């Protein structure tokens, strides 16, 4: 069986008892970065063998790993933080398993955008998860499409591109569109700033951001 196991996005206590049991009982853990995951496993005294599975090798290794799972191996798939497959490697291995009739179980657990969405104070009954924008080709077109959505949308961003992205959002959505920026979710210096895009641009000009970033933007109002 393939187990897809969410891991904490910050605070190591944000993991379920079931996830810990699966990680201990699996024959093998596939990790996005074995060095990062070793910190979590050491914290919980888990000694299951680790193997790298990341965006640079998943194209080549997913089919072979799915065959090994079909042959009787129990594998737990984790990413550096959050749920594999959500802006992290995972989809290709899950698809390869499904195509071969291998059972897949995805455990419920941590993902960064849910607490950021709730904490934003923006409508969360309907929302669109975009994840990371294209860095170059197609970026402006995608921003313009997102600006026309009539419900809240969600972006992931690095702190180094946050200012540029907020400015581009203001260009296509208007500076008065409400938004929030959450960073370091569940960590010691967790912070959420809310306001218009124009206000957020000014805030982060004066206070450059650090850490993992989630941007929440309200949808376009009806004319």
Low-confidence winner among 92-96, 167-171, 181-185, 209-213 (lowest mean pLDDT): 209-213
pLDDT value for 146: 98
SS3 per-residue string spanning 24-73: HHCCEEEECCHHHHHHHHHHCCCCCCEEECCCCCHHHHHHHHHHHHHCCC
Q: Cα(88)–Cα(206) distance, rounded to whole angstroms? A: 31
Q: Which residues touch 92 (CB under 8 Å, ≥6 apart)? A: 58, 59, 62
CATH number of 113-217: 3.30.950.10
Sheet holding 104-106, edge to edge: 50-52, 28-31, 75-78, 2-4, 104-106
Integer Cα distance of 74 and 211 in angstroms: 34
Q: Which residues pair with 9 in a beta bridge?
A: none
Percent of the chain clearing pLDDT 90 (strictly above)? 94
Q: How confident is the model over 13-37, as a mean pLDDT?
A: 97
Check pLDDT > 70 for residue 223. no
Residue 134 is given by DSSP the state P
* Cα-based torsion angle of the residue sequence 197, 203, 208, 213 in order, rounded to the nearest 10 degrees: -40
Cβ-proximal residues to 15 (8 Å cutoff; 6+ apart), any chain: 6, 7, 8, 40, 44, 109, 110
Q: What is the pLDDT of residues 92-132, one digit of tens each?
A: 999 999 999 999 999 999 999 999 999 999 999 999 999 99
Task: Delimit the domains of the chain by residue range.
Answer: 2-106, 113-217
Contacts of 116 (CB under 8 A, 6+ apart): 154, 180, 182, 185, 192, 214, 216
- pLDDT tens-digit readout, 52-81: 999 888 899 999 999 999 999 999 999 999
Using CA atoms, how far apart are residues 95 and 213, in angstroms rounded to an integer?
28
- Whether the predicted pLDDT of 222 surpasses 80: no
pTM of the model: 0.92
Please give the order of strands across the beta sheet that includes 191-196. 127-132, 152-157, 213-217, 178-183, 191-196
Class in CATH terms, 2-106: alpha beta
């Amino acid at each position: 069986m393939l187990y897809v196991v969410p891991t904490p996005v910050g605070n190591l206590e944000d993991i379920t008892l079931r996830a810990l049991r699966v990680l201990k009982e699996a024959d093998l853990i596939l990790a996005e970065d074995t060095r990062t995951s070793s910190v979590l496993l050491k914290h919980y005294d888990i000694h299951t063998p680790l193997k790298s599975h990341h965006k640079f090798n998943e194209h080549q290794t997913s089919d072979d790993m799915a065959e090994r799972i079909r042959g009787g191996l129990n594998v737990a798939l984790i990413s550096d933080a959050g749920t594999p497959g959500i802006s992290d490697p995972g989809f290709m291995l899950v698809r390869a398993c499904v195509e071969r009739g291998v059972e897949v179980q995805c455990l419920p657990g941590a993902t960064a955008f849910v607490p950021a969405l709730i904490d934003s104070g923006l409508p969360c009954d309907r929302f669109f998860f975009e994840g990371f924008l294209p860095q170059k080709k197609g970026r402006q077109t995608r921003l313009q499409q997102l600006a026309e959505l009539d419900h809240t949308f969600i972006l992931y961003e690095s702190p180094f591109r946050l200012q540029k992205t907020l400015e581009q959002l203001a260009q296509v959505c208007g500076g008065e569109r409400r938004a929030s920026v959450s960073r370091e979710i569940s960590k010691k210096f967790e912070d959420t700033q809310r306001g218009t895009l124009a206000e957020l641009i000014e805030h982060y000009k004066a206070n450059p951001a650090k850490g993992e970033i989630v941007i929440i933007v309200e949808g376009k109002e009806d004319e």
